[in-house]
Amino acid sequence: MYETRVLSGMRPTGSLHLGHYHGVLKNWARLQAEYPCLFFVADWHALTTDYAKPEAIVDNTIEMVLDWLAVGLDPSRCVIFQQSAIKAHAELYLLFGMITPVPWLERNPTYKEQREQIQDRDLSTYGFLGYPVLQAADILMYRADGVPVGIDQAPHVELTREIARRFNASYRPLFPEPETLLSEIPKILGTDGRKMSKSYNNAVYLTEPAGDVDRKLSRMVTDPRRARRTDPGDPNDCPAYQSFHKTYCTPDELAYQAEGCRSASIGCLECKQIMIKHVQAELEPIRARRAKLTPDDARRALAAGNAAAQAVAEATMADVRAAMGMG
C-alpha cells in the first residue's frame, strides 16, 4: 500500500454513461484497491454552472452514487461523501480565496474556453471564476497527494499546487502539493461521433436495458463511404471503430474488421456486432448489481462516508485556523 491519499469528485449528473465509465470510474475502481481513496459528489460545483436549476441535484446525487456502487466502488474500501455535507469546504474555500490572486483564476484555460463556448448558461458569476479555489479546498482538505484527472483538468491541479505553496509559505507548511494521476483514457465517442454527453443525446448509459444498448450501437455513425454494403470503407474514418472497436475488440478481431471494412467483405452491422457483444458482456454485471441496489444503499454509503470525511476535515481546519492565528 502506498502512502498516497487519492481524492476525486464528480458533479451529480444523474445516470452515468460509458464515457464516465472509461474516463473516470474504471480508474477509481482500480485506485481503491491501491490507495486510500476519497470520492465525492461535487454538488456545490454543480451550482457554479447550473445555479439556476438546482432542483435535480438531490435526485441526481442518489442516481450517480448508485451507479458508482454498481461499477464496484465499495464503501468498505473507499470513502464516498457529499461535498455540501462537509461545511468545512466552504470555510477553507473562503480562506483560500483570501490568498488567491484573481489573475491566477482569469488565466485558467477552462474558464476562458467555457465562457466563450457555453452560451445557454450564465457564467459571469464570482462562483464560476472561483471554482478552482473550491476545488483546491476539496483536495487540500484531505491533504490528498494524488488527484486522478483527465488532461483537461491538469491546470486546476496546478492551481491547487500554487495555492498550497502560497499557504505553506505564508503561514505554516500544512499542505502537500498534490500530483496529477493521469491515466491512459480510451476515447469513447457518442453514437453520433461527437464527445459522449447527455446533452448531445448520444450517450450509452451504464444501466440501460441490453436491447437499447444494442439498438443505439447498431445505429452508431460509421465511415460515410460505406453507404452501401458493397462500398469499401476505411476504419480510420469510422467513429465506431476509432472509439468502441478499439476499446473493446481483441487485436485479431480488429484486424478482421479492418480488412473486412476495406474490402467490403463484411457489413457495418456484422462488424459492430463483434464489438457490441463485448460491450454487453461488460455492462451485464453492472446492470445486475444496479438492479439490486436501492436509494437507501446510496444514502447509507453517503452517511458513512460523510462521517469519515467530516472527521478528517475537522482536523485539517483546526490546523488551518491555528496556522492563520484564527483561534
Q: Which positions lie near ligand SF4, rule CB under 6 A? A: 222-223, 226, 233, 235, 238, 240-241, 257, 261, 266, 268, 271-272
Q: Which C-beta is closer to ligand SF4: that of 25 or that of 261? A: 261
Query: Cβ 195 to ligand SF4, closest distance in Å?
Result: 19
Backbone φ, ψ for residue 225 (5° rounding): -70, -20
Taking the least distance from each CB to ligand SF4, the nearer of 228 and 292 is 228
Nearer to ligand SF4, 268 or 286 (CB): 268
Report, in Å, the least distance between residue 253 CB and ligand SF4: 11
Closer residue to ligand SF4, CB minimum distance, 206 or 238: 238
Render 125-163 in DSSP notation, one character per residue: SHHHHTHHHHHHHHHHHTT--EE---GGGHHHHHHHHHH
Smallest distance from ligand SF4 to CB 257, Å? 5
Q: Nearest-CA neighbor of 266 among 278, 256, 275, 276?
A: 256
- All residues at 6 or more sequence positions from 209 whose CB lies less than 8 Å from its CB, including other chains: 287
- Of 102 and 227, nearer to ligand SF4 (C-beta) is 227
Choice between 136 and 240, CB closer to ligand SF4 = 240
DSSP 193-256: SSB--GGGT---BTTS-HHHHHHHHHT----TT-SSTTS---GGG-HHIIIIIHHHS-HHHHHH
Residue among 15 and 280 whose Cβ is closer to ligand SF4: 280
Nearer to ligand SF4, 257 or 316 (CB): 257
The minimum distance between CB 258 and ligand SF4, in angstroms, equals 7
Quote the least distance from Cβ 140 to ligand SF4, whole Å.
46
**DSSP assignment of 11-77, as one string?**
---SS-BHHHIIIIIHHHHHHTTTS-EEEEE-HHHHHHHHTT-GGGHHHHHHHHHHHHHHTT--TTT
- For the CB of residue 261, give the shortest distance to ligand SF4 in the complex, in Å: 3
Can you tell me the distance from the alpha carbon of 91 to that of 313, in angstroms, rounded to the nearest whole number? Answer: 10
> What does the block give as the cell for 324?
492563520
> Cell 473562503 belongs to which residue?
94
Element (H, E) at 79: strand 79-82
Residue 232 Cβ, how far from ligand SF4 at the closest point, in Å?
9
Alpha carbon of residue 108 to chain centroid: 19
Supply the minimum distance, in Å, between the C-beta of residue 223 and ligand SF4: 4
Residue 238 beta carbon to ligand SF4: minimum distance, rounded to whole angstroms = 3
Place of cell 465525492: 40
Instruction: Rank residues 145 and 223 by Cβ distance to ligand SF4 and give the closer one.
Output: 223
Helix (H) or strand (E) holding 261: helix 251-263
The Cα–Cα gap between 193 and 128 comes to: 29
Tell me the C-alpha to C-alpha distance, in Å, between residue 225 and each of 77, 237, 268. Answer: 49, 9, 11
Residues 6+ apart with CB under 8 A from 252: none
